[in-house]
Structure formats: C-alpha cells, structure tokens
C-alpha cells in the first residue's frame, strides 16, 4: 500500500473519497489503526486530556508532543501522520512557530503539523509552509481557546460568527494550508465551508458533508463511559472489555490458577536442585 501524502488527500477530495482520520498517541495504537485503514493519524494535543488526565489541552508541552509524535511515526506504515502544535508553541512569534513545527518533523518524524486559528494565523501558516512543512488548519471549536470561548461550546451558530469562520477558512487556504479541521460547528456551515474550499475539510462534530472525519481514538473505542458528547459515536466498548479482561486476570491470580503449566517454564531433565551451603 502506498503511503498517504498531502497530495493523496487533495486527490481524495477531488474524486469524492472520504478521508478517514483518527488520533493516536503511541506506536501500538498507531500500528493497529494504520492496519485498520486510517488515512491520517493525528497526534492530537487531546493527549493532554485522554493520556495525561488534564481537564484541557493547555498544559501539553512541545517536548511531550515530540515524544508522542516519534512513537506514533514508528508505529505507522501507510497513514500520513500529523502532529499538533501545542498551546503557546506558535502564538508568541512566527519564528518560534516555524522552529517548533520543525521539531515535530525532524525529531517527531511527522509529515505535517496542525495549528488552531483563523486569519490571525495566516502569516504563521505561510511561514511554516515556506519552510516546506505542510500545515493543517483547525477552526470552529478550538480547544486551546477554551477560556476565550467560555467552555467547549459549538461555534458559528449565529450569522456573524459563521461568516467569520468561512472567511477564516478562505484565509487559511489562501495562506497555503493543505487541509482544515472543522470542529463543533453546525453542519450547514461545515457544508458551506467544504464547498467554498479546494482543500479538504475534516470534520468532528461538523456533520457528514465534510471531506473527511476525525475522532479521538479513545472516544470511538468507548474507553471512558463518563464522556458522551453528542458528536461521539462509540464503535466498541473497550472500557467494558478491559474491565472484564483485567478482572478475569486478577481473579485467576487470587485463586492461584494463573500461571498454569502452559504459561510456566520447565528446567532441563534430571537437574538436581540443592541449595549451595
Ligand atoms: O487534539 C485532537 O485530538 C484534535 C482533534 C479532535 C481534531 O485536535
Ligand atoms: Na488538537
């Protein structure tokens, strides 16, 4: 299978083939999801929440993103790997943005980076693209702006906000972004943005008319029974499976039925086991 590149993704939009994107944070998940058919693996800064246990993505650092990107790229074969630029790694200056994007590529091994924001980051997108690092944009509900948004709230429900998101999308395409994540926006706005752009849109909580979809892998696999927002569909109940499997293991340990002979080693025949004294 040929490796997926940013050119593959642009072609997918042209021929109407949906782009399948999912997050991954380590090599084992990357390998499984790649083999399962993912076109794009996103090393999302959502790892701050699902891996690190924070209540936002804001504490995630560049060093942590580099570490997880390197693990995921080792596990991926066919999929294109995208690394998120974390909070405060690209907002201070264009120079810092380019250097940090470069770290995700040179140390993390990713094929492109993603950053959150609209027209105000067009210059940043242009500068990173100029350094030959493809940029994926991210508009709508942008988790790094949780304090500005006043929570994780659907964006672009009124006409003024919707118009701004459409303008931001055009500005990002103009600046050289190769694709765009639309998160937490009404489906009609996502459809309008998708039809207005030549670059692919990838939706999460943005309706079915985007050029592709993305979900956090722990969400689609049903790892957290307490997290059930409207936009998540659970395709498995790994919380249940893991609880059951681990519970069975603990029970056998307590009963003394694990390990049995099949899972234990035998010495060579006829050796004498006497303590040296
Ligand atoms: O960090 C992340 O997982 C993301 C996706 C939800 C788009 O940015
Ligand atoms: Na993210």
- Cα distances (angstroms) measured from residue 139 to each of 179, 225, 274, 275: 11, 27, 71, 70
Residue nearest to atom 8 of ligand 1 (CA): 44
Residue 260 belongs to some domain of the structure? no
Is residue 116 marked as binding? yes
- Can you give the pLDDT at residue 40? 99
- Can you give the pLDDT at residue 274? 86
Residue 275 belongs to some domain of the structure? no
Q: Which of ligand 1's atoms lies nearest the C-alpha of 114?
A: 8
Which domain range does residue 23 map to?
6-236
- Can you give the pLDDT at residue 106? 98
Is residue 84 marked as binding? yes
- Could you tell me the two tokens for 143? 């988790």
Question: 158 C-alpha to center of ligand 1: Å?
Answer: 24
The total number of structural domains in the chain stands at 1
Residue 69 belongs to some domain of the structure? yes
Q: How many residues does the chain have?
A: 277
Q: Would you name the residues annotated as active-site residues?
A: 183
pLDDT tens-digit profile of 250-261? 999 999 999 999
Beta strands in the chain (DSSP E): 19-23, 40-43, 80-84, 112-114, 135-140, 179-183, 201-204, 212-215
Is residue 46 marked as binding? yes
pLDDT tens-digit profile of 173-213? 999 999 999 999 999 999 999 999 999 999 999 999 999 99
Residue nearest to atom 3 of ligand 1 (CA): 44
ipTM of the complex, rounded to two decimals: 0.99
- Cα distances (angstroms) measured from residue 36 to each of 21, 30, 145: 11, 10, 33
Closest to 79 in 3D by CA, of 140, 128, 29: 29
Question: 88 C-alpha to center of ligand 2: Å?
Answer: 13
Residue 185 belongs to some domain of the structure? yes
Residue 183 belongs to some domain of the structure? yes
Residue 245 belongs to some domain of the structure? no
Is residue 226 marked as binding? no
Residue 199 belongs to some domain of the structure? yes
Coil, strand, or helix at residue 88? coil
Closest to 4 in 3D by CA, of 43, 44, 40: 40
Which alpha helices (H) appear in 213-273, and where do they start and end? 217-220, 238-255
- Can you give the pLDDT at residue 219? 98
Which positions ≥6 away from 22 have C-beta within 8 Å? 33, 38, 40, 41, 42, 214, 215, 216, 217, 220
Question: 214 C-alpha to center of ligand 1: Å?
Answer: 8
Q: Which residues line ligand 1 (CB under 6 A)?
A: 23, 42, 44-46, 84, 181, 183, 204, 214, 216
One pLDDT digit (tens) per residue for the chain, 277 residues: 799 999 999 999 999 999 999 999 999 999 999 999 999 999 999 999 999 999 999 999 999 999 999 999 999 999 999 999 999 999 999 999 999 999 999 999 999 999 999 999 999 999 999 999 999 999 999 999 999 999 999 999 999 999 999 999 999 999 999 999 999 999 999 999 999 999 999 999 999 999 999 999 999 999 999 999 999 999 999 999 999 999 999 999 999 999 999 999 999 988 988 888 7
- Cα separation, 154 vs 133, whole angstroms: 30
Report whether 135 contacts 97 (CB < 8 A): no
Q: Which of ligand 1's atoms lies nearest the C-alpha of 46?
A: 1
Report whether 201 contacts 179 (CB < 8 A): yes
CATH of the domain at 227: 3.20.20.60
Strand partners of residue 140: 183
Give, as one character, the DSSP assignment of residue 111: S
Residue 256 belongs to some domain of the structure? no
């Amino acid at each position: 299978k040929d490796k997926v590149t940013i050119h593959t993704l642009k072609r997918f939009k042209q021929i109407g083939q949906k782009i399948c994107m999912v997050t991954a944070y380590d090599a084992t998940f990357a390998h499984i999801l790649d083999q399962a058919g993912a076109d794009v693996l996103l090393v999302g800064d959502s790892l701050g929440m699902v891996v690190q246990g924070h209540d936002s993505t804001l504490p995630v650092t560049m060093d942590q993103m580099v570490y997880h990107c390197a693990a995921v790229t080792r596990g991926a074969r066919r999929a294109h790997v995208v690394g998120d630029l974390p909070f405060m790694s690209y907002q201070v200056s264009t120079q810092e943005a380019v250097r940090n994007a470069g770290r995700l590529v040179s140390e993390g091994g990713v094929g492109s980076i993603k950053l959150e924001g609209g027209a105000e980051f067009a210059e940043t997108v242009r500068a990173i693209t100029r350094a030959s690092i493809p940029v994926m944009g991210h508009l709508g509900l942008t988790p790094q702006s949780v304090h500005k948004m006043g929570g994780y709230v659907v964006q672009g429900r009124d006409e003024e906000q919707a118009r701004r998101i459409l303008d931001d999308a055009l500005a990002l395409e103009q600046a050289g972004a190769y694709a765009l994540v639309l998160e937490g926006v009404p489906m009609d706005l996502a459809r309008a943005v998708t039809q207005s752009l030549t670059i692919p849109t990838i939706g999460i909580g943005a309706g079915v008319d985007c050029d592709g979809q993305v979900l956090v892998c722990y969400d689609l696999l049903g790892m957290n029974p307490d997290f059930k927002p409207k936009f998540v569909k659970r395709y498995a109940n790994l919380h249940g499976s893991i609880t059951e499997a681990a519970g069975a293991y603990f029970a056998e340990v307590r009963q003394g039925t694990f390990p049995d002979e099949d899972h234990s080693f035998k010495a060579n025949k006829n050796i004498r086991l006497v303590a040296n004294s």
